[in-house]
Amino acid sequence: MPTHDEAFKKLIERTPVESFTAFAAEHVAALGVPVSAEVIPNEVLPHVPGQQRSRFFDVAIRFTWPDGSQRLMLLVEHWSHGRDIDLVRVLMYTAELMRRYPDIPIMPVMVVADGSVRESIRDRLAMDVAGNQVLDFRVTIFMIRAELLPRWAATHNPVLAVLAALLRDLPPPAVALRSCELLLHNHKLTEIINTQLHLIEIFANLTNTQLAEFHHRLREEPTMASIVDILKAEGLAEGEARGEANSFVRLVLDGDLSRTKGIARLQHLHEQGRITTQLLQETLAIIEASA
């Protein structure tokens, strides 16, 4: 199963324009909504000696507006705990982006998943020398808290809907179901539900038992009918045994689900009597062959 950091990066890469309206909402009125976005490869940033690059740098996005201008770039990082934010390293990455893209303002956004933390989080790095300020670096802190839900209601932003699965105010299956309900209101539902559903499951930290409960509720809730219809049309509905099994195989082959987790889910389907022994053997053989 991908980590939260990996899932967060996939979410941003799949919905970059929506990430702008989610994390830079206060700038939409002044700048407008961009029409396209380019994700900047991690390799353009300096390597932190002794550390894995992916552990620290999530994603930078360069946006383009209808007139062809590039008015802003986001450096978005996901942190489980606000106290762990390394402002010196974020400054180093921001400075490198400024060097490479000198004409584009850079806005660092730190997305903090632990929304239960109420103490202030350090968002400024300042330095004075003999009374003269030589550095004043600030980042935007975006907390995953219950306040996220009213923000979603005003925008119907799919990024906010998926990130709502990080909230811990309800049991995990209910949290995941709520995120799906939020996605129902997005006009791109048909395009995004296939990928976003898996990210919701990751962020909600569902165990195998909770995953089964979530899928059951997804099928049984009347409000979820449109999502189930879309999944059925793509052969991914729970009631479609072969489609469901193949969906787990596809996630493993695409690297979105670990082999161990994919095999466990297929075996769970078999134990429940939802797929035959033959289908289990076929799907397991495909996974083994990809190793």
Same domain? For 99 and 182 the reply is no
Q: What tokens were used for 79?
A: 């942190």
Same domain? For 192 and 278 the reply is yes
Extract the runs of DSSP E, i.e. beta strands, from the chain: 36-40, 59-64, 73-79, 106-112, 124-129, 132-138, 140-143
What's the pLDDT score for residue 158?
92
What's the pLDDT score for residue 117?
62
Does residue 159 sit within a domain? Answer: no
Does residue 74 sit within a domain? Answer: yes
User: Who wins on pLDDT, 86 or 275?
Assistant: 86
Rounded mean pLDDT of 264-282?
76
Q: Give the side-chain half-sphere CA count within 13 A for 259.
A: 8
Same domain? For 208 and 135 the reply is no
Task: Please state whether beta strands 124-129 and 132-138 pair in parallel, antiparallel, or not at all (unpaired).
Answer: antiparallel
Same domain? For 264 and 195 the reply is yes
Domain edge (last residue) among 95, 124, 143? 143
Q: 138-160: per-residue pLDDT in tens?
A: 999 999 988 888 888 888 899 99
What's the pLDDT score for residue 236?
47
Separation between Cα atoms, residue 80 and residue 144, nearest integer Å:
10
What's the pLDDT score for residue 154?
83
Same domain? For 264 and 223 the reply is yes
Q: Which of 106-115, 167-176, 249-258 is predicted most confidently?
A: 167-176
Look up the domain containing 61 and give its range. 4-143
Poorest-pLDDT segment among 14-28, 60-74, 228-242, 276-290: 228-242
Does residue 151 sit within a domain? Answer: no
Q: 245-264: per-residue pLDDT in tens?
A: 888 888 888 888 888 888 98
Does residue 260 sit within a domain? Answer: yes
Residue 36 pLDDT exceeds 50: yes
How far CA 40 is from CA of 8, 44, 58, 106, in Å, comes to: 15, 8, 10, 13
Does residue 110 sit within a domain? Answer: yes
Domain edge (last residue) among 125, 143, 161? 143
Residue 239 pLDDT exceeds 60: no
Beta bridge partner(s), residue 78: 111
Separation between Cα atoms, residue 199 and residue 108, nearest integer Å:
23
Does residue 158 sit within a domain? Answer: no
Q: Are 74 and 24 in contact (CB under 8 A)?
A: yes
Would you tell me the crossing angle of helices 4-14 and 16-23 to the nearest 10 degrees? 100
Same domain? For 193 and 272 the reply is yes
Does residue 167 sit within a domain? Answer: no
What's the pLDDT score for residue 279?
80
Same domain? For 189 and 105 the reply is no
- Triad 36, 1, 5: Cα angle to 5°: 45
Q: Which residues contact 201 (CB under 8 A, 6 or more apart)?
A: 165, 176, 211, 214
Same domain? For 22 and 138 the reply is yes
Same domain? For 122 and 8 the reply is yes
Does residue 27 sit within a domain? Answer: yes
Same domain? For 106 and 210 the reply is no
User: Who wins on pLDDT, 111 or 262?
Assistant: 111
Mean pLDDT of the chain: 84
Same domain? For 122 and 235 the reply is no
Same domain? For 31 and 126 the reply is yes
Q: How many domains does the chain have?
A: 2
Domain edge (last residue) among 143, 162, 191? 143
* 222 — pLDDT class (breaks 50, 70, 90): confident
